[in-house]
Every structure is written in C-alpha cells, then in structure tokens.
Chain A
Amino acid sequence: MKKALRNNGLSLFFGLIFLLALLGQALTGHALFNQEQVASGLEEISLGEYLTSSNFAVDVSENWQSEYLQFLLYIFATIWLVQKGSPESKELNEPGPESDKEQLVGEYSNAGSPKWARVSGWRRTVYSNSLGVTMGLIFLLSWLAQSIAGSSNYNQEQIKNFQQPVSWAEYIVSPEFWNRTLQNWQSEFLAVGSMVVLSIYLRQRGSPESKPVGSAHDDTGTTG
C-alpha cells in the first residue's frame, strides 16, 4: 500500500489537487453565479443546478482545451524543433521521428516493449502516435464542449439583457468565443516558451524538469 502510494505519488498528487481545485471552482462559481442572479432580480439556483449549467461547463472546458493544446503542441513541436541548452529539447542533431533502433520498435524491441511496438503495420503506427493523438482528441472534445456550453451561456446573458440569442455557427466566429479561447492559449504558450528558455540558464536541484545544477548552459537534452 505504502509502496503503491510512493510509486504513484506524482499522478496521485496531481489527481488530488485537480479535484480540490475543481471543487473550489464549483463552490466559488456557484456563489458568483447566484450573486449575479440576485443582482438581475432573478432566483438563486442550487449547487446541483449550477454543476449541470453551461456557465460551469464553459469555464471548465475552456481551460481544459488550452491545457491539452499546450501539451499536444509540445509533444509534436519537440519532435522537429530543438532548443540549444534546454533540457526540454532533444539533442540538436536528433530532430525527426528517429530510427526504429532508437525507438525500440520491431526487431529492436525488447522483452518489456509493449506488444504494439513489437508488431509491424497499422498497430505500430497507431501506438507510435497514441500519446499525441489522445491529447489531440481530448483537446478537440474539450474545445467542442467549450463552444457548445459557451454558446448556451452567451445566449443566457443575451436573453437576460433582452438581446437576441445567436446560433452555434454565429457563436464560434464571435469575439466572445475567440476571446475566451485566445486568453487561455496565450498564457499556455507563454508558460511553455518561458520554461524552454529559463531552463537553459536556471536549475532546480533534483527535478527531472531541470538540468543538473552543474550542467553547462549549452548542454542540451540532459536532465537532472
């Protein structure tokens, strides 16, 4: 039990703080929503109603899509683009999908390799791209959820303000949709970009996200 906790510490820690943050968002979002209802002379709603509302769904999904996009881009960009001195980058002479030998697939696989890495054909192709494809799929689903929930939430505001609601097709080209989307994207791109650059010159002892403290600034692709 203790060993299982230790061996899965990273995923458990992030899983737990994710749930706590989501709970906090739900409770504060509910309180904020009801403040606005009262201000508009409308009735307050229960927490259950809030959790199934488009208001909550759009706030959650707009953040999710941008996080998954961030990782999706990072996964694919780092195949081809390198950054001298960054532990987040591959070695400068390794851009591209690399050889079967380096990737331990087919005849170069070993006893511990996953089955689909050992076989050839479509299964190996699928498995070779499964991380990127899954992240991409979650990104697209979250973004779709944002657009559906966002259009419903936007139309609620429109009606509360005695304005005409818009269709989903109108909503996805509206300033509201793109503003919600881009304000999340810019922060993700900044965070990734600064991590790539700062990790060239700065260190965090013991973290695999950093180079070893004594590594030279131009050491690329080493982790501590």
Chain B
Amino acid sequence: MKTPRGVGSLRLGLLALLALSGGVLSGCAAADGTQAAEAAEAFHRDVAGSNMTAACSLLQSETRKETARSSDAGTCESQLKKAKIPDPGKLLSTEQYGRDAFVEFEHDTVFLAQSEGGWRVTGAGCTPNGEEAPYTCEVGGK
C-alpha cells in the first residue's frame, strides 16, 4: 500500500504547522484586552462628565454617523445626551478576540472594535436578550 505524499511535503507541512501553532498561540497571548477596557472606561468617564464631544470621538466612525442620524438635532453629541447610558459600576471582565472586544461592567456591557486610532466603541449601554440573541444597545449595536 502506498500513500501519494512524500517526505519533503511532510517536512514542509510540519514547519508550517509549527508556524501556524506559534501564530495562534502568540495571537492569544497578546490579546489581554487592557486597552479595549481602558477605551470603554474612558467612554463612560466622558459620558458621566457630560463631555459628549470626547465620548463621540471614542465611537467607531460608522457608529458615530449612525448615532448622529438617529438624533433629532442631527448630532452625535445630542443623541448621547438623550441616550440612557447607565453608570457602569466596577469593571468585571474583558474579552478580546483579534480586533474585537467585549467589556463587562457591573451595570453595562460595551462592544468595541480596533481601528487605526485605537479601540473604538461599537455598542454601549447594552443589555442581553437571552443566550443567542444580540444585545440591545442604547448607543450603536444592531
């Protein structure tokens, strides 16, 4: 009985497997989410201090446009003022996967995405709707 693959390709495959495992593991090690959590905290700080311009600058660009569109006054700032974003309380956990992060506070959940300028909020003031359903967010979200 024969197999159609040679020793050379096996060796190449082994090297590639090592490279792949290294890539996977280094990707996991680097993803502790601290910076994402800091961005989520900064967003909440700005909202609590009514510094809506700063808070809007921490929204991901599409989220910012969407937020402005949903406002009567047509600005992101006015919509943030109107939104019922809770006082988040203590930071509980951060999970980062590649360029996406999920930050849980005592009273809020924030979704973020990485952009060239750093971490940006894609959803804040989010509450769960059961296990599989998407969260409902005061700002951003679906």
Instruction: Verify if B82 is at the interface (C-beta below 8 Å from A).
Output: no
User: Whole-angstrom distance from the CB of A191 to the nearest CB of chain B?
Assistant: 11
User: Whole-angstrom distance from the CB of B71 to the nearest CB of chain A?
Assistant: 18
Q: Which residue of A lies closest to B141 (CB)?
A: A162
Of the listed stretches B14-22, B38-46, B47-55, name the one at the interface; the rest are far from the partner chain. B14-22
With A15-B12, A74-B3, A155-B95 given, is the CB distance from A149 to B134 under 8 Å?
Answer: no
Of the candidates B10, B17, B23, B101, which one forms a contact with A142 in the assembled complex, judged by CB atoms under 8 Å apart? B17
Of the listed stretches A5-13, A107-115, A176-184, name the one at the interface; the rest are far from the partner chain. A5-13
**With A and B bound together, what is the CA distance between A129 and B128 in angstroms?**
52
**With A and B bound together, what is the CA distance between A138 and B134 in angstroms?**
37
Name the interface residues of B48-102: CB closer than 8 Å to any CB of A: 60-63, 95, 97-102
Task: Please determine whether B1 and A89 come into contact, CB atoms closer than 8 angstroms.
Answer: yes
Chain A residue total in the interface (Cβ 8 A) = 51
Q: Which residue of B lies closest to A68 (CB)?
A: B13
Q: Mark B126-142, 1 if CB is under 8 A from A, else 0.
A: 10100111110100011
Instruction: Verify if B34 is at the interface (C-beta below 8 Å from A).
Output: no
Task: Please determine whether A163 and B98 come into contact, CB atoms closer than 8 angstroms.
Answer: no
Instruction: Verify if A43 is at the interface (C-beta below 8 Å from B).
Output: yes
Of the candidates A54, A145, A161, which one forms a contact with B97 in the assembled complex, judged by CB atoms under 8 Å apart? A54
Task: Please determine whether B62 and A55 come into contact, CB atoms closer than 8 angstroms.
Answer: no
User: Whole-angstrom distance from the CB of B12 to the nearest CB of chain A?
Assistant: 5
Name the interface residues of A44-75: CB closer than 8 Å to any CB of B: 45, 51-55, 57, 60-61, 64, 71, 74-75
Task: Please determine whether B111 and A11 come into contact, CB atoms closer than 8 angstroms.
Answer: no
Chain B residue total in the interface (Cβ 8 A) = 52
Name the interface residues of A1-46: CB closer than 8 Å to any CB of B: 8, 10-12, 14-15, 18-19, 22, 41-43, 45
* B1 proximity list for chain A (CB < 8 A): 78, 88-90, 221
Task: Please determine whether A41 and B137 come into contact, CB atoms closer than 8 angstroms.
Answer: no
Q: Which residue of B lies closest to A64 (CB)?
A: B17
**With A and B bound together, what is the CA distance between A42 and B135 in angstroms?**
19
* B133 proximity list for chain A (CB < 8 A): 163
With A162-B126, A162-B135, A163-B134 given, is the CB distance from A155 to B100 under 8 Å?
Answer: yes
Tell me the A residues contacting B by CB distance below 8 Å: 8, 10-12, 14-15, 18-19, 22, 41-43, 45, 51-55, 57, 60-61, 64, 71, 74-75, 78, 88-90, 138, 141-142, 145, 148-149, 152-153, 155-156, 158-165, 208-209, 221, 223
Tell me the B residues contacting A by CB distance below 8 Å: 1-10, 12-14, 16-17, 20-21, 23-28, 31, 60-63, 95, 97-102, 111, 113-116, 122-123, 126, 128, 131-135, 137, 141-142
Sample (12) of A-B pairs whose CB atoms are under 8 Å apart: A14-B6, A18-B12, A41-B60, A42-B62, A42-B113, A53-B27, A145-B21, A152-B98, A155-B102, A156-B97, A162-B135, A164-B135
Contacts A14-B8, A156-B99 known; 19 new A-B pairs at CB < 8 A:
A8-B6, A8-B8, A11-B8, A14-B4, A14-B9, A41-B62, A43-B114, A54-B97, A55-B98, A61-B24, A74-B3, A138-B13, A148-B25, A152-B27, A156-B100, A160-B113, A162-B142, A163-B135, A208-B2
